[in-house]
Amino acid sequence: SQKIEQNSEALNIQEGKTATLTCNYTNYSPAYLQWYRQDPGRGPVFLLLIRENEKEKRKERLKVTFDTTLKQSLFHITASQPADSATYLCALRAGSARQLTFGSGTQLTVLP
C-alpha cells in the first residue's frame, strides 16, 4: 500500500544548529514533493516544492533534497531559531493526480 512516513513525531534541537527532517514514501512515483509549516491551531503554510527531476531546492535558510532512488526527501533548516518551532508536513502528488497526500508531520522545537 502507499505510505508516507516522516521520521519522528518530535524533534528537539538547540538554537543555531541545523534541523533535518525526513520524509520517506513507498509505492509512489511522485511528480513532486512539497513541504508545509503548521503552527498550532492554524492552517499549513506552503514552504517549498521540489520536482522529481530536481535534486535540491533552497530558499533562505531552508533546503530540500529529493532522492527518488531512496524514495526520500530531506528538509533542512540552517541556523535554527526558536521561531522555527512548528510542525512540518511533507506532501506529495503522484503522476497526474490533482490531490496531494500528506504525511503526519514532525513537530520541531528549537530550544534557546
Partner 1 sequence: DGGITQSPKYLFRKEGQNVTLSCEQNLNHDAMYWYRQDPGQGLRLIYYSQIVNDFQKGDIAEGYSVSREKKESFPLTVTSAQKNPTAFYLCASSSTRHNEQFFGPGTRLTVL
Q: Rule CB under 8 A: which residues touch partner 1?
A: 4, 9, 32, 34, 41-46, 49, 89, 91, 93, 98-105
CA–CA separation, 29 and 68 (whole Å): 8
- The least CB distance from residue 77 to partner 1, in Å, is 19
**Which three three-digit cell numbers place residue 72?**
526520500
Between 91 and 108, name the residue whose CB sits nearer to partner 1. Answer: 91
Between 63 and 103, name the residue whose CB sits nearer to partner 1. Answer: 103
* Lookup result for grid cell 513541504: 35
- The least CB distance from residue 90 to partner 1, in Å, is 9
Longest Cα–Cα distance of the chain, Å, equals 43
| C-beta neighbour count of 11 within 10 angstroms | 17
- The least CB distance from residue 47 to partner 1, in Å, is 9
